[in-house]
Amino acid sequence: MYMKNRIITLLCIVCLFTGNEVCRAQVQEVISGVVRNESNEPLDGAIISVPDNPEYTTSSDKDGKFIMEIPSGASMVICKIPGYRNQTMKFTLNKPVEFCLISDIAGQDTSLEVAMLQKERKGGYTGAISTVQGEELVKTPNSGFSATLTGRLTGLTSIQSTSTPADDATTMYIRGLNSINGNSPLVVLDGIPAPLFDMNTLDANTVESVSILKDAAAKALYGPRASSGVILITTKRGEIGRTKVNVNMDFSIQQATQRPKIVSTGEYAQMRNQALLNDGGTPLYSLYEIAGFTDGTMPGHDWYDTFMNDAASMQRYNVNISGGNNRVKYLVNAGYLHQNSLIDAEKNDNYNPALKLHRFNILANVDVTLHRYLNCFLNTNVTIDRINQGYNGTGDIMNSIYQMAPTVPGPITEDGKVITAEYNEYPTYGLINRSGYSHQTGINLNVAYGMNLDLGFLTKGLSVKGIVGYEANYDGTIYGSTDYARYAANGSGLFGTHTTLPLSLSKTANMRYFINFQGFINYNRIFGGKHEVDAFVSYFNENMMKNGDLPYDRLSLMGHVKYGYDSRYYIQGDFTYDGTEQFKPGNRFKFFPTVSAAWVVSNESFLKDTDWLSFLKIRASAGWLGNDQISDTRFLYATDVRYKDAGYLLSNYYGFHTVEGMQGNPYIHYEESFQQNYGIDVTLFNSLGITFDYWNVKQTQMAIQNNSVSSAQGIASENLPFENLGKMNNKGFDLELSYIKNLKCGLRMTIRGNMGYNKNEVTDIKELNRTASGYYYPYRKTGYSAGQQFGYLIDYSNGNGYYNSQEEIDKSGLRFSGASPRPGDFIYKDLNNDGNIDERDQAPMDKAQTLPTLSYGGSIQLEYKNFDLYVQLQGVSGTAAYYSGCGIFDNAYQGVYTDLHRNAWTADRYAANEKISYPALTTGSSSSLQSNEFFYSKNNYMRLKNVVLGYTLPKRWSSKLKLEKMRFYISGANLLTTSPLKFDNLDPEQYSYSVYPIYRTFNIGLNLNF
């Protein structure tokens, strides 16, 4: 009996893995055909399959032709390709099948990658989603991936503050700010949450599409990390068909969009003398020296030009191999990027301090059909960054450039000694070239393995799926540090503790990981051709460790059910039951429901045959979402009490003491967010597409520290416990337009535009009402947008807004908090009329908040014969910022003077009635150098973001080279920028001269398809 059972078991296993072959052996016929579009042009890559039997699938070739096997009894085949309506046809054996696909500008039959590895037909989707295809992202010649999304996704605000190699990621927000806590969107890579993943290291050539999930219906299933939106990245996968090889290469020259400009050395000396006189001091430079600086007989420097090159180069190479059959589909991609920097470094015998980035990308996606009912996939994404630079980072170097006056000789003597001044211990030349080096290696690994078992043999539409995802990040740096002697211009030594030293080596390393499991029970079926049912329940568990902390654990139970009738009416419900260790037991689990619906009006019988209306859908969603991204501090329910070293006591005993930090709150729990979205999707004349969404978010139970509590209780404000007491509202709209037209002359035109508006208001943050203390504006946060900035208003009633004499100051009768004004300083308004100028008189600055209220973008693509042209514009509006520091404040370091300071107030300039555009210069503090409306400026901008001009070699020529396609192109990024910014030679996304610039890029490239 035992042997009999073993034999039966073995036979069952054999049947399981050979059943597919048995089924294949039943094939009796072969059909063939061709796929064309409305213009009778062949379509390459169309997928033809037998409905409900996907193992019988093939694809069309470059001539639109296909041949496929069919099972016994089959009578229908379906054809799908993005951009066209799906077409199902009956076939007759021994007769070619001819598909003529109709273009689908509305994308009704487009398959959307949505939450939790699900796919939905766009025509029946009830959520708010914006998507950009990878073929558009590769048009941006940028080293970092995140910048390719800027201006292309409706509702996405993207801010870039630098183009530093390996550190040029943009900061992204979806629909603005919902809370004062945790507003970063969740990044999901191929359906797997990737909280540690640096998406900026992605190779755009590997990306199929990027979507942002914006409303509750779209993002709820990702739990409390998704409250502020989800960035859904889908990488390319292999498709059925012959093996394809694509090679891409390009070379770029990169420059600063704005290069700082300072006054000449002679002007600097004059302005420095004036600043000293204004402060009651004596001039530093004689008339003889000023004349020498002016005529060039005495050396002077623009240190930015000395240490920053005009341009840097970048090279990118990419090879993509893909293909597949009914059993196995594969895609392998390898990419390499090499980028230099603008910092001018000098290689020596021991090391090279030049900043260089070497990035290697490897992607491998494999899909395998193990059996008719069982398939699996394996995704692997590896990025390796090798960063070489000097011992000091770019931040230190950029900060140092203006620390030395332009009148100091240097940067080195003829015999190589480093020159500095008595006030500058770390001269820029030494920071770059004489301090050592660092070699950093960063490795990102993302792996996911999943299996799907089709239980259709039990009941049609039932399946189960399991996925394991693993993410690991490693950062390791080898440092070689050294020191060098410093000298004054006259050859005498300075800072004698610094001498030339041999290299000293050290190493640091950091490891992070994230592992998760997802399990699904899915049910998807259509009854009677009209009743669509889509449902699943899912379990999600994750474990994450970062920065040496205790592991983070989360788990969720999720459910989804959707019903559609006759492709017209859809209703959907979702829920998550989330658990996090961030809160005390009893508060860790919470239920969050969401409901949504859609009405496809254009499928109603009274509109179905209209020529002008191609598609019309009305959507609505509402639901609760949680947020546990409250603070970097762990376990907010527990008081932070530590036993710490207290040092020696009476020089004989070593003591310890107890230190009480942040107070715990055992009742802390999830922030709650009620999110509503109302949208409409319209396509007219199968050409013009319009999508509009109005949305509203009410954030309650927002975790704050209650600063209305008196400090008399003995707890410092930074140690107050977090409590769920805050409230905040955020609302706005998204608008997306598209126009696609094929003209009879052969010109294809694609125009796209997008706009996202958001406005938030902090309605309750338990802020102290300062009315009784004499504040003209009693609140600094309540009633304003997040990040609202305040400053003094300037009183222009005297004609120019400056105190023009000491007598005028004395007659004002005002008292001043902090620095008292001098002649030439601003006159501030005493808003509360108490005779004092202090922070009680500060007012909110218009539009000066964390984020712009409006983000927009637009593009046009023209294709004519073998030429293609792409132009993209991008910008923001409704934003202003406070500018200070190097290049703005005149007192930075030894004085950094620009065009802004040329017309600074002086008694002579005032008496001569000359233009005055800046307060009196100073070498120290000044009442004018405070937060006031002069130093606030609108920083709206619009950029010519990308331009691409390409030419594809005629097929008769490329075929002679054994190529499927050969395309040459030139492109550029950030070519032009317009802005109302009042301060010159600054990029509107930057706030000081002493930061690494944002790039303008000129690029030439080549695409080869085999």
Q: What is the SS3 assignment for 960-997?
A: HHCCCEEEEEEEEEEEEEECCCCCCCCCCCCCCCCCCC
- Phi, psi dihedrals of residue 990, rounded to the nearest 5°: -125, 160
The C-alpha atoms of residue 312 and residue 303 are separated, in whole angstroms, by 18
Sign of CA dihedral 891, 897, 901, 904: positive
- Phi, psi dihedrals of residue 133, rounded to the nearest 5°: -85, 150
Q: What is the 3-class SS of 222-254, one letter each residue?
A: HHHHHCCCEEEEEECCCCCEEEEEEEEEEEEEE
Q: Do domains 29-101 and 111-243 have the same CATH topology?
A: no
- Collect the ranges in the chain with pLDDT lower than 70: 1-28, 646, 648-654, 711-712
What integer pLDDT is reported at residue 5 of this predicted model? 46
Nearest to 120 by CA among 229, 239, 199, 213: 213
Partners of 986 in beta bridges: none
Nearest to 891 by CA among 931, 919, 925: 925
Look-up of token digits 């620390």:
403
The C-alpha atoms of residue 94 and residue 86 are separated, in whole angstroms, by 23
The 10 Å Cβ neighbour count of residue 701 is: 18
Question: By the 8 A CB rule, do 910 and 896 touch?
Answer: no
Question: By the 8 A CB rule, do 742 and 861 touch?
Answer: no
The C-alpha atoms of residue 160 and residue 570 are separated, in whole angstroms, by 40
Q: What is the distance between the terminal CA atoms of the chain, rounded to a whole angstrom?
A: 59
The C-alpha atoms of residue 70 and residue 93 are separated, in whole angstroms, by 10
- Residue 292 parent element (H or E): helix 287-295
Q: Which fold has domain 29-101?
A: Immunoglobulin-like (2.60.40)
Nearest to 842 by CA among 756, 776, 928: 776
What integer pLDDT is reported at residue 632 of this predicted model? 80
Partners of 522 in beta bridges: 463, 536
Q: Which fold has domain 111-243?
A: Ferric Hydroxamate Uptake Protein; Chain A, domain 1 (2.170.130)
Helix (H, G, I), strand (E, B) or coil at 983: coil
What integer pLDDT is reported at residue 28 of this predicted model? 64
What integer pLDDT is reported at residue 614 of this predicted model? 93
Helix (H, G, I), strand (E, B) or coil at 273: helix
What integer pLDDT is reported at residue 21 of this predicted model? 42
CA Rg, the chain, in Å? 33
**For the chain, domain boundaries:** 29-101, 111-243, 257-312+866-880+936-1009
Q: DSSP string of 439-453?
A: EEEEEEEEEEEEEEE
The single-letter code of the amino acid at 305 is D
